[in-house]
Structure 1
Amino acid sequence: MKGTQRPGGHRGRGAGRVLGLLPAMVAAIGLTSTAALAVPNHGATSTGPKPRALSPASAVAAMQPSWNLGNTLDAIPDETSWGNPPVTKALFDTIRAQGFHSVRIPVTWTGHQSPTAPYAIDATFMNRVKQVVDWALSDGLYVVVNVHHDSWQWISTMPTDHDNVLARFDAIWKQVAAEFRDSPQTLLFESINEPQFDDAGDAQGIRYLDELDTAFHGIVRGSGGNNATRLLMLPTLHCNAGQTYMDALVGGMKSLDDPNLVATVHYYGWYPFSVNVAGGTRFDATAQKDMSDTFTGIRDTLVTQGVPVYLGEYGLLQYPDHTHPSRVERGEALKYFEQLGHEARTAGVTTALWDPFSFLNRDTLRWRDPGLIAQIKSSWTTRSGTASSDRVFVPASSAITAKTLTLNPNGTSFKGLWQGGTRLAAGRDYTVSGNELTLTAAALTRLAGDRAYGTNATVEARFSRGLPWKIYVTTYETPVLSNATGTTGGLSIPARFRGDLLATMEATYADGSNAGQTGWTPYQEFNAAFSPDYPGNALLLTPDFLGALHDGAPATLTFHFWSGATVTYHVTRSGSSVTGTAS
């Protein structure tokens, strides 16, 4: 991803079960090369891997699942600059114990390299990279090392500074190749992360990338030692899995005529859903199709043509983020990760979860959301049933009525509902008609208890395999907003959420045109334009949103909540002053 601090995070699971998928994954990849690689014994101790020979396709399959050491050695300017503590050996011990078989270690060299010839890399930094890589290798993990945020810091200027960029890029790989020439072949090199070139169209960008990859390939192969046959990863332009980019990569690989090459792309989902903009609140049919089409394209263009594929980063662009209110509703995120694991397994693609710090707490070495990681882990080996929502909302004061959810069995069979260890009674507590699950009024009344605002009970829909789907019985009343005054530096609207949760905000002017900084849609971006402050009983409008409002033109805001409730609010900017009025 691009070179600013990314919130978010990722990862988790089981060694033996994943290795059991190897024959199927290798068959799906279909590579016939007999080139052998040293592959770690996943039962190895910290004394180091015990190699055995695998083909490139088998080696990439054995790397599943993978995890990214994000926002660390790629952080700018230094390892701890983006909020993570220094890497320790214990971190890789944890990752290995959690069932990961490989790690990607992004490295940004820019601030640790002379910007002019001979472009020397600082010895202290190189030694630190080597130390971190060796810790991971000693745990029996495959390791990927790359050139990361350099892609946008200076490599992107190649159209206007061609010779200097190429010379500096070459210098990095000459030094890295020399440092690691004798490292085991369980270390892989990735030429460049998310390559991009200023003011260059796709055709020109592809030519620049091909030039860099050709140089990278020649330098590494010519450096001798284990680099002569080391697996090398080549990206598509932007690491985008679009057809044009993958076709170009296939052509570039054919020209290099080297069996020890791996393709790498990234996937962060359908953009409106990934960041919650343009009304993309749900993992709906459009988001699902984007995912399935992407993996079908990867399979048909690369995997079935004998090219091993490493999904070097995946996740959602703005989820999870423990430092801000969640943009993506948790149940929708669970559905996303559940399907992604299935699509990757079906396509024969090895997946590397992007984790800048939001999945694994690097201070405690514990997962921030164990349930989310459990879903990701489960997706590595099987499917899980889900439903149209993970919440059933009931009113705080009016009569409770039956509520219906649509089950998504995903090839499993529905087995019933449980509350803890107690099985709910079919017919009395719930009914099922096809995939329509209805909780009865009587059951919801009992589960809601005293109907205090918020979640009053949790029930589980259990299926024949995979994880159960949790359903939170939540009591609410329509939220209430109050008048407010502020400046374009930010407006805090007093809010009583009353058990409800914010989904999105729609902003328009009286003539029907869109209001706010995201002018192509009335539905503004969560946390970028607006943000709920549940503990502070406030709803915040950001400086970016307020600064984009037309001076003197009242904007009508419609806040959409997960219960289905909507609340209308009016905001007027007058110079740097802002007034908010409840309807």
Structure 2
Amino acid sequence: MRRPLWTSLAALVGTLALTATLAAPATAGGPAGHGPHDRHGTRHQPSAERVVAGMQPGWNLGNTFDSVGADETAWGNPRVTRQLIRTVRAQGFRSIRIPVTLGQFEGPPPDYAIDDATLDRIQEVVDWSLDARLSVLLDLHHDSWQWVNQMPTRHDEVLAQFTATWEQLAERFRDYPRTLLFESVNEPQFAGSSGEDQEYALLDELNTTFHEVVRSSGGRNADRVLVLPTLHTDSGQARLDSLLETYEALDDENVAATFHYYGYWPFSVNVAGGTRFDETALADMTGAFDRVETTLRDAGIPVILGEYGLLGFDRHTGTIEQGEKLKFFEQLGYEARTAGVTTMLWDNGQHLGRTTYRWSDPALFAQIRSSWTTRSGTASTDQVFVHPDAVAEQSVTLDLHGTRFVALTDGRKPLRAGKDYRLSGSTLTLPTRLLERLVGSSAGYGTRATLTAWFTRGVPWRIEVVAADEPVLAAATGTTEDFAVPTQFRGDRLATMEATYADGSFAGPHGWTAFKEFDVAFAPDEAAGEIVLRPAFFAEVTDGAPVTLTFHFWSGAELAYTVTRNGTAVTGTP
């Protein structure tokens, strides 16, 4: 007997939820080879491969002990609490990366003694993490650009300070279990070098010195897993090849590698028209993981993706359109799993609230968490714009990623295949009749419904049905420090902005592209009804030369606007 669609769907959802629960990392007990928090016991000695695999997935305690300032609150985050660490574990993470910047807490040469109170506090949080059954990756962080980068011109002094720093850390944690790992230096870089050949040699020297210092300190440091970065923690082939040479020379089975990935740069910050996770952004991602896999993983070296995310998140997660960023993280999880890479999410406080213990974007975290174990279906878009007075059917392309499409719902109401929607291959068509019903006849603009596409596994894909009309821009006056374009968005959403002079040359920052950086050169404020042009934009605009702005909206609408700067005064007209 065939059950009604909603009954079948409910059963499916329940099955998916149970599967996700069983597949998700446990919140009690530890990863493979993760023994109890006993700093003196020798219960077992898992391989470096097992130690690193047991760290999947991981989370970064960013902008805290790595801040450049008086203490862990210098960059705006509150003091770390034991509850925060327990929450990290409860959210399914199995490891925590604790970046520390120590140069400002060190005394003069030759000892470079680290302030005891600073080390005590770091040790306290390491202890809390191990007690919560989290593996810990402790890394020397912004010291990389504060003083380590001066190695080309101050070689002996930098090497002495680097050696003294790691001697103290190695001594402080020498008897800790192997679920505490050390990372030599974050994003290594060198100022005033003669070129990359010298930089590769200097990084090799740092990594080798780090290895010698820790290993010679005795105790459990004799076989602690040590993590070495590439130059700039970049995944370029030359960077990986150079690091591989260091590994081969060290000939130590308890060494792992690390790199970072923040995506194809135009997409990562939304500049140069990089509004979508398109084929170019995808190729950048697959290329990075392919190189890491063939160069390091195939050589038997464990690899940790020590940081990942999108660079635009440093301002706010809305810099990148919701659906496009969800596709990025879904794909990244798959690439990492396929390559056998352990991932550690960068979080400087913009994701997991440090006092609320809640995710600022639950849908984003749901996608990230799902990607640890399986694939999810996605689609070409998560927003459909409908003109209330001219409704026409629209299509969305599904990206199944090996799943099967199961159903489409409007809230809790199942929609009927063949009547409410049509599916042909991967093309999902929303007929005029459905869109007319969803948009309705009520006045006003905005989201009228959220449709949910369900698949056989992973998280579902949500599609907003938005009532929208072409936006309207108005004239304005202001200054280079305070200027905004009055905008009636009428349900539409701004994607990007071009800026050109009359001769077609590019205006404003990033002069190599007409498309300016979202939230740096411009920013929409729908609540205030305006598009703000930042001082950073006008700082690179020629005085007295009219600039044509082209605003690109997600509905496909494009509107032109002219701004002219005269000294600090700015005028604008549609």
- TM-score, length-scaled by structure 2: 0.93
Aligned pairs (5 A) from 1:37-56: 39-41=33-35, 52-56=44-48
Question: Partners of 2:438 and 2:25 in 1: how far apart?
Answer: 43
Structure 1 residue corresponding to 2:261, chosen from 247, 262, 267: 267
Q: CA deviation at 1:487?
A: 1.7
Amino acid at match of 2:126: V
- Whether contact under 8 Å (1:402, 1:441) holds in the other structure is yes
Task: Give the 3 Å change call, closer, same or farther, for CA 116–538 of structure 1 in structure 2.
Answer: farther
Q: Does 1:82 align with 2:75?
A: yes
Q: CA deviation at 1:408?
A: 0.5
Structure 1 residue corresponding to 2:188, chosen from 184, 187, 195: 195
Task: Give the 3 Å change call, closer, same or farther, for CA 409–363 of structure 1 in structure 2.
Answer: same
Q: CA deviation at 1:18?
A: 5.8
Q: Does 1:548 align with 2:540?
A: yes
Amino acid at match of 1:484: A
- Whether contact under 8 Å (1:158, 1:165) holds in the other structure is yes
Q: Does 1:161 align with 2:154?
A: yes
Question: Partners of 2:538 and 2:482 in 1: how far apart?
Answer: 7
Q: Which runs of 5+ in 1 are unaligned?
A: 1-12, 21-36
Q: Does 1:207 align with 2:217?
A: no
Structure 2 residue corresponding to 1:17, chosen from 23, 48, 57: 23
Q: How far does the alpha carbon of each residue in 1:103-136 deviate from its partner, in whole angstroms, 9 at most, with x for none?
A: 0000011221125432111110010111011110
Which residue does 1:186 correspond to in 2?
Answer: 179
Question: Partners of 1:236 and 1:47 in 2: how far apart?
Answer: 30
Q: How far does the alpha carbon of each residue in 1:359-408 deviate from its partner, in whole angstroms, 9 at most, with x for none?
A: 10101111111111111010011100010000010013x22000111110
Question: Partners of 2:21 and 2:299 in 1: how far apart?
Answer: 27
Q: Does 1:444 align with 2:435?
A: yes
Runs of 4+ in 1 over 6 A off after TM superposition: 13-16, 44-50
Which residue does 2:466 correspond to in 1?
Answer: 474
Task: Give the 3 Å change call, closer, same or farther, for CA 560–473 of structure 1 in structure 2.
Answer: same
Q: Does 1:569 align with 2:561?
A: yes
SS of structure 1 residue aligned to 2:181: strand
Question: Partners of 1:350 and 1:40 in 2: how far apart?
Answer: 15
> What RMSD over aligned residues (CA atoms) do the two structures have, in Å?
2.0
Structure 2 residue corresponding to 1:425, chosen from 416, 427, 434: 416
Which residue does 1:30 correspond to in 2?
Answer: none
Which residue does 2:498 correspond to in 1?
Answer: 506
Task: Give the 3 Å change call, closer, same or farther, for CA 50–362 of structure 1 in structure 2.
Answer: farther
Question: Partners of 1:403 and 1:493 in 2: how far apart?
Answer: 31
Q: CA deviation at 1:97?
A: 0.9
SS of structure 1 residue aligned to 2:238: helix
Aligned pairs (5 A) from 1:111-190: 111-190=104-183
Question: Partners of 1:541 and 1:522 in 2: how far apart?
Answer: 15
Task: Give the 3 Å change call, closer, same or farther, for CA 375–320 of structure 1 in structure 2.
Answer: farther
The 10-residue stretch of structure 1 (376-385 or 47-56) with the greater mean CA deviation from structure 2: 47-56
Task: Give the 3 Å change call, closer, same or farther, for CA 435–575 of structure 1 in structure 2.
Answer: same
Task: Give the 3 Å change call, closer, same or farther, for CA 49–546 of structure 1 in structure 2.
Answer: farther
Structure 1 residue corresponding to 2:271, chosen from 268, 277, 280: 277
Q: Does 1:300 align with 2:310?
A: no
Q: Matched residue pairs, number? A: 549
SS of structure 2 residue aligned to 1:557: strand
Q: CA deviation at 1:15?
A: 8.9
SS of structure 2 residue aligned to 1:57: helix
SS of structure 2 residue aligned to 1:560: strand
Q: CA deviation at 1:190?
A: 0.1
Which residue does 1:229 correspond to in 2?
Answer: 223
Query: Sequence identity, in percent?
Result: 54
Question: Partners of 2:455 and 2:41 in 1: how far apart?
Answer: 39
Which residue does 1:33 correspond to in 2?
Answer: none
Q: CA deviation at 1:39?
A: 3.5
- Whether contact under 8 Å (2:478, 2:570) holds in the other structure is yes
- Whether contact under 8 Å (2:330, 2:368) holds in the other structure is yes
SS of structure 1 residue aligned to 2:496: strand
- Whether contact under 8 Å (2:38, 2:177) holds in the other structure is no
- Whether contact under 8 Å (1:490, 1:546) holds in the other structure is no
- Whether contact under 8 Å (1:320, 1:359) holds in the other structure is no
Amino acid at match of 1:501: R
Question: Partners of 1:17 and 1:202 in 2: how far apart?
Answer: 44
Question: Partners of 1:85 and 1:142 in 2: how far apart?
Answer: 23
Which residue does 1:25 correspond to in 2?
Answer: none
Q: CA deviation at 1:416?
A: 2.1
Which residue does 2:306 correspond to in 1?
Answer: 312
Question: Partners of 2:551 and 2:40 in 1: how far apart?
Answer: 55
SS of structure 2 residue aligned to 1:151: helix
Question: Partners of 2:163 and 2:23 in 1: how far apart?
Answer: 41
- Whether contact under 8 Å (2:375, 2:457) holds in the other structure is yes
Amino acid at match of 2:397: T
Task: Give the 3 Å change call, closer, same or farther, for CA 503–126 of structure 1 in structure 2.
Answer: same
SS of structure 2 residue aligned to 1:209: helix
Aligned pairs (5 A) from 1:341-352: 341-352=333-344
Amino acid at match of 2:165: I
Amino acid at match of 2:23: R
Question: Partners of 2:32 and 2:148 in 1: how far apart?
Answer: 32
Aligned pairs (5 A) from 1:330-345: 330-345=322-337
The 10-residue stretch of structure 1 (347-356 or 412-421) with the greater mean CA deviation from structure 2: 412-421
- Whether contact under 8 Å (1:233, 1:262) holds in the other structure is yes
Q: Does 1:410 align with 2:401?
A: yes
Question: Partners of 1:459 and 1:309 in 2: how far apart?
Answer: 39
- Whether contact under 8 Å (1:47, 1:138) holds in the other structure is no
Q: CA deviation at 1:17?
A: 2.9
Which residue does 2:65 correspond to in 1?
Answer: 73
- TM-score, length-scaled by structure 1: 0.91
Q: CA deviation at 1:428?
A: 1.4
Structure 1 residue corresponding to 2:53, chosen from 48, 57, 61: 61
Q: CA deviation at 1:422?
A: 1.6
Which residue does 1:239 correspond to in 2?
Answer: 233
Task: Give the 3 Å change call, closer, same or farther, for CA 573–280 of structure 1 in structure 2.
Answer: same
